[in-house]
Amino acid sequence: MQAPVVSTRVENTIRKIAVVGSGAVGCYYGARLARHYDVSFLMRRDLNAVRKSGLRIESVDGDFTLEDVQAFETTVQIGPVDLVVIALKATANDLLLHLLPPLLKKDTVLLTLQNGLGNEEFLASHFPGHPILGGLCFVCINRGEPGTIRHLAHGLVEMGAVDDSGPIEEVGAMFQKAGIDCHTLPDLGLTRWRKLIWNVPFNGLSIAAGGIDTQQILASPELENRTRALMLEIIAAAAAYGHTIDPEFAEANINCTREMGSYQPSSLIDFLAGNAVEVEPIWGEPLRRAKEKQVETPELKRLYLEICAAVGKG
């Protein structure tokens, strides 16, 4: 496994940050950044609660509350910033076509913390000329009552730049200063495939197996075997694109997941709430890319079809 490159240099070119997508991920990482930097949040559901009582983070690393949160209803109210942290579900990417322009200056950096494949390409095609970074969040987190985020375990962010553009070292160092375990990697594609090793089986089987959590998945020998098979298929597909991942990384993911207890993955939470599930970015796109390289992925195909059936996707 390639060792991460840890950022250490800060150039202080980024002063104002906007978080677009203030769900669990956006609020958690945004709140940590906001204790050190000028951060504005685009909020909808929790807007009134946060304006009244602040943003509460209940964390295994120590609870804290942001008392005076810069929370806004529209990006027009926020205005141009130096860095946009995008934490919307990838199913809502079309909304970015309207949400992002009021936030942009000539050199505004776009950082996507979204799941799946294709998000950086989407941003590059619609917002050419802007530096684009991708970040993968290995974190156990969910939303509580309005204005409260529960951080249960982990929190690592692995980050890379598209085409070597963008101040990756500076942004990585900002995350580190905010108390976030952040590693910058020289290969963003590798980072994306590494995250899929967890997302594909655990988000997928939690839905396909009837709405169960990670503990229940690993308690079933059949589902644990499917988990491992899916991980190895993702590793094979990644290798076809030049991204080498040690199979031991899959085992490490399984072992870490055992420590989470009865954790509900984000896709399961969306599914149970009747919200859109990120079917194509997490399962459809990896399946298509594997097919392009003639990599056999029967377990991934099976899971993709099961999820499509579960969510009513034809």
Q: What pLDDT score does 295 carry?
A: 98
Q: Report CA-CA distances (Å) from 158 to 64, 139, 161, 169, 292.
A: 24, 11, 11, 12, 26
pLDDT single digits (tens) 180-198: 999 998 888 888 999 999 9
CA angle 297, 135, 85 (to 5 degrees): 135
Sort residue 144 into left (φ over 0), alpha (ψ -120 to 50) or beta. beta
Strand partners, 182: 157
What would the pLDDT profile of 50-75 be if each residue is shown by its tens digit? 999 999 999 999 999 999 999 999 99
Structure letter (DSSP) for residue 138: E
What count of Cα atoms within 13 Å lies in the side-chain half-sphere of residue 226?
23
Q: Indicate if 191-311 has the same CATH topology as 16-186.
A: no
Span 191-311: which CATH code?
A: 1.10.1040.10
Q: Is 293 a catalytic residue?
A: no
The β-bridge relationship of strands 64-66 and 55-59 is antiparallel
Topology annotation, domain 16-186? Rossmann fold (3.40.50)
Residue extents of the structural domains in the chain:
16-186, 191-311
pLDDT score of 3: 40
Of the residues 195, 291, 293, 301, which is catalytic?
Answer: 195
pLDDT over 70 (residue 251) = yes
Give the integer Cα–Cα distance in Å for 222 and 227: 9
* Burial classification of residue 297, based on how many CB atoms lie within 10 Å of its CB (0-12 exposed, 13-18 middle, 19 or more buried): buried
- Each residue's pLDDT tens digit, 129-169: 999 999 999 899 999 999 999 999 989 999 999 877 679 99
